[in-house]
Chain A
Amino acid sequence: AQSVAQPEDQVNVAEGNPLTVKCTYSVSGNPYLFWYVQYPNRGLQFLLKYITGDNLVKGSYGFEAEFNKSQTSFHLKKPSALVSDSALYFCAVRDMDSGNTGKLIFGQGTTLQVKP
């Protein structure tokens, strides 16, 4: 079965420091991986995705993610955190067991807290 894990419930970082939000996955076959961000009382906003190709994926708002096949990880990174980056972050993987559907399987989310 496909799954994704976000091992940290919360990540705290000081403004201006680099940030990493971790994600590991388990899939059969090649993974399709996504990162979304959710601000309070808002829906999920797409940040970036890995489909194939370069292991370093660049996305919105200065975020990037590194795909590591040997470690089955897809960690979200940003070189310099902003207070406005404080939000709930979700990693997701496409469910390849459900045929040709678009179903995403989400992690439980990681709260990022950036302090001034």
Chain B
Amino acid sequence: EAGVAQSPRYKIIEKRQSVAFWCNPISGHATLYWYQQILGQGPKLLIQFQNNGVVDDSQLPKDRFSAERLKGVDSTLKIQPAKLEDSAVYLCASSLRAGGRSDTQYFGPGTRLTVL
């Protein structure tokens, strides 16, 4: 079974530029998550999709971050404009069921963003 795919793996941009990350979850997984992992910290949830609807985006800085999951499969996370503090690894994860509390989340390799 193929895992969670993410691209690009690395991205370097200057502040105030825009950037987009792509994620393709494990086939058949209903729920998709975007986490932000700042160096030296554990991942923090940015947004959760259940099929193509948003379940939780309470921690998403909506003035600069946006995300969509068209057709309930792959997803794009965008930052516009980027700030220095957005430098982090952006992890995408997926889980099988919608709203399953015991479900395991499977993570992709992440995109390492550096904002100069």
Q: Check A101 against B104 for contact (C-beta < 8 Å).
A: no
Most buried by A among B4, B91, B105, B107: B105
Q: Check A102 against B95 for contact (C-beta < 8 Å).
A: yes
Number of A-B contacts (CB under 8 A): 68
Q: Check B42 against A43 for contact (C-beta < 8 Å).
A: no
| Interface size, chain B (Cβ < 8 Å) | 30
Q: Check A44 against B55 for contact (C-beta < 8 Å).
A: no
User: Given A43-B4, A46-B106, does the pair A102, B42 have CB atoms closer than 8 Å?
Assistant: no
26 of the cross-chain contacts (CB-CB < 8 Å) are A34-B104, A42-B109, A43-B107, A44-B91, A44-B107, A45-B107, A46-B106, A49-B104, A90-B43, A92-B42, A96-B101, A98-B58, A101-B48, A101-B55, A102-B48, A102-B55, A102-B99, A102-B103, A102-B105, A103-B56, A104-B105, A106-B42, A107-B42, A108-B42, A109-B40, A109-B41
Residues of A within 8 A of B (CB): 32, 34, 36, 41-46, 49, 51, 90, 92, 94, 96, 98, 100-104, 106-109
